[in-house]
Structure 1
Amino acid sequence: MTLSEAELRAAITREFPGVRADLERLVRIPGIAFDGFDHTHVDRSAEAVAELLRGCGLDTRIVRSGGQPAVIGSRPAPPGAPTVLLYAHHDVQPVGDLFLWESDPFEPVERDGRLYGRGAADDKAGIMAHVAALRAFGDALPVGVVLFIEGEEEYGSDSLERLLEEHRDELAADVIVIADSGNWDIGVPALTTSLRGIVNCFVEVRTAEHAVHSGMFGGLVPDALTVLVKLLATLHDDDGTVVVEGLVSPGGAVVDYPEDRLRAEASVLDGVSFVGTGRLTERLWTKPALSILGVDAPRTSEAPNALVPSAKAKLSLRLAPGDEPKSAYAAVKAHLEKHVPWGAQVEVTFEHDGEPCVIDATGPMFDAARDAFRTAWDGVSPVDIGVGGSIPFIATFQEMFPGAAILVTGVEDPHSLAHGPNESLHLGEFARVCLAETLLLRNVANAATS
């Protein structure tokens, strides 16, 4: 029996209060997979997710492969129907400075139609969108489903590739829905079709065996901080464009990002200009970006009048779609070794990387998704967007399941503040996401038999 749009809308309306209540229960679990945190909470989070999937009638188990626990739940497809893999993650980012939060990050609170709490948007709402769709269909689910809910995405998905290899057969699907991105705006849905990759590394410079008196030797002996500053300044030109030779920089984004909206969403101070050249979305989505994330050096309040003998910085390179992490790291390393001033010693060390990806968002399954989004947002067509951030495992899914259509969706909006203080979820948009995923599963079933 195929449920009508009206029946599915009514089902989501019926199920939404319970979906929200279960989301709030998940938000209360501080499942942080980073080193130094209590990982029993990650275990609790996995158990809570497993309970939710079992409640939907899925054959469910918790799995791991040297890392944090993931949850796999499945229900076989009706005869002749396709199988859809639904991905989300149950771990969350650390909360950072608690004084910047307006409420307890692990006690969900509604303010002005938004639900505040760490993980409320990224990505526990993604889990609950999957659960909402399953609950809406009940026993009338028209497709087979496999839910894969990861437990260490925020920490880098170190064990994900092993998990996918070990469970490849049971995770195989015709369509993969990755609910870990966002929408273009409140009231405007989106499909993510490209993401930048990432290379993080450290650069350390040394000029002396130990600190020496800044008056006795200053003006002759270079201090390491000055060397580091000059070296880092060579990474960009005066416009702020990355000038490391060998990086891919195709550009080509076609969506316009209004400057006033971008400035507000990025909280850019008055008078501060954007860096780089080209369309704003090109600079955000399809060109490389190189940022200095931190510096190891004496604190100003503790610094003596001495020349610093060594200094270290952490760099993060976001790779344009089409680039390759290993060659990009080699290019950055070569640039730093070439441009270090005054003969200072320099050491560049690799931390981690992740592949960029481009998705060819054409074909019947993408049409099914766009139709579902258009219906859920009352006639507003979804926008194809790029994302400046990275979800490296999407490239892994592409490699392991080359025949699957990969739909990158999400619950976030430009005001969600994922990873930051006061992360929140727009509850009205969340209801639309739940309806859209329900309609998507129906549309995928119809597209497979048409």
Structure 2
Amino acid sequence: MNEAPLGLLFGILAALILLSGFFSGSETGMMSLNRYRLRHKAKSGHRGAKRAARLLEQPDSLISTILIGNNLINNLAAALATVMAIRLYGDNAVVPASILLTLVFLIFAEIIPKTIAAYKSETVAYAVSHALLPLRKLLFPVIWLVSHITHLVLRITGVERNDSGEHIGLEELRTIVGDAGHLIPKHHRGMLLNILDLETITVDDIMIPRNEVFGIDIDADTSTIIEKLRDAEFTRIPVFQSDIDNIVGILHQRDIINSVDDHGRVQRDKLLQALRSPYFIPEGTPLHTQLFNFQKKKRRMGIVVDEYGVMQGIVTLEDLLEEIVGEFTSNLSTDTDDITHQSDGSFVIDGTTTVRDINKTLKWDLPTDGPKTLNGLLLEHLESFPEAMVGVSIDRYRFEILEMKGNLIQLVRAYSRTPSKRQRQS
């Protein structure tokens, strides 16, 4: 080495710096790959993705290969630089040469290669995989020895390997979808987030409450039944006997004509024959479960009952689908049948409106882990049945009761004193 030309030594040192940069960039490029995109491209037949996937199947072997190569190169470069410094300037040049070599390696073998690999991870990873696969085979004995020593030390120190890094939870998946940006259209992104929410929402949150259920009493007189049928706005109508808790079936509008005789009178026998047996749903059923149940049982409407069999409300397939795709309406304003915007910036809200509908329509953050309706939420905070014009504050929201109907809060004026987090983000 002492007799080798300095030009040759400088050339070897430059080559070692490049090799060190190769290993540094390889590590960053391989570890920065999007694993899900990599799997997709590998399944699509991309050769570079297949090679990278093979390497990442054993990340410990991959890292060992890169670190063994990198440390070997760095040690050779340090030894070579020491020899060159002594030949050029004597023993006193060893320390300055080490400092200079450190700076050169830091810039050209660490920062620059790793920055490039971070920005171009796929390009770098697919390219370096050509060399890393055969190099891993070549260094297998050394990798095997290093891995066993490493695992032995880890066991002694009580550190266990954790293979759960590839698994993501619901919140992480929501973040991935939310951060997808232009990769997923806004409307589709909203649908995906709504699908993820199905596990946390139950039929209680979206059902039409008992007091708003439109039904027909089979024991009513013919004129009353015909009048109810004439006013019906729904395709499927619950039919009960004497009491709404005693539902005897579901009537489809198209079957009504077969139950009316030539004189326009409803024939109860034919009406009962046209009924489809009611489908009952236990309260608290998650929406994703109920969606599969509707599909399995070929149903479009279910009766929600509590543990005592008392009817709580009804849920339709359309209600459930609206939780995924949004309201089936072209009206983009905040005004709905239950929520009306006022000129002073407040809203007049029907007391039976669900808290979730208020949050979705107004982008508010009212608590949803308690009562399901605004009436229930206000009564919980008031702890008594109020008179009209009573006000109550819940977090940053102010509510003024405008109208009572028995023990039910009928109308409420509401407004937000400060913008909610969701309003600021929109």
Higher strand proportion, which one? 1
| Structure with more of its chain in helix, by fraction | 2
Same fold (TM over 0.5): no
By relative contact order (CA 8 Å, sep 6+), the higher-ranking structure is 1
Q: What's the TM-score, normalizing by structure 2?
A: 0.21
The structure having more radius of gyration, on CA atoms, is 2
* TM-score normalised to structure 1 length: 0.20
